[in-house]
Amino acid sequence: MGTQYAHALSKLHANLILVDYENKKNKQLEAELKKRYKTRPMSFDVDISNQESVRELARKVLKKYKKIDILINNA
């Protein structure tokens, strides 16, 4: 998810799932969003070309949140 989308949605108190192949930037963004907006974002490093990795991510997200309200693919 783009940084600007993340900030805009966090201002609305959305709890975001940040996904990237390399998680370092997402971890930094996760910490910034938690501090600035008092939300509960989570970040994961996932190779989206690997179908099983995507399924595992979906299982984790749905276990915690039960449903996904909005999905934004920002490639």
pLDDT in tens, 3-62: 999 999 999 999 999 999 887 889 999 999 999 999 999 999 999 999 999 999 999 999
pLDDT of 37 reads 97
Distances (CA, A) of 52 to 8, 19, 26, 28, 59: 30, 15, 21, 26, 10
Domain spans, the chain: 3-65
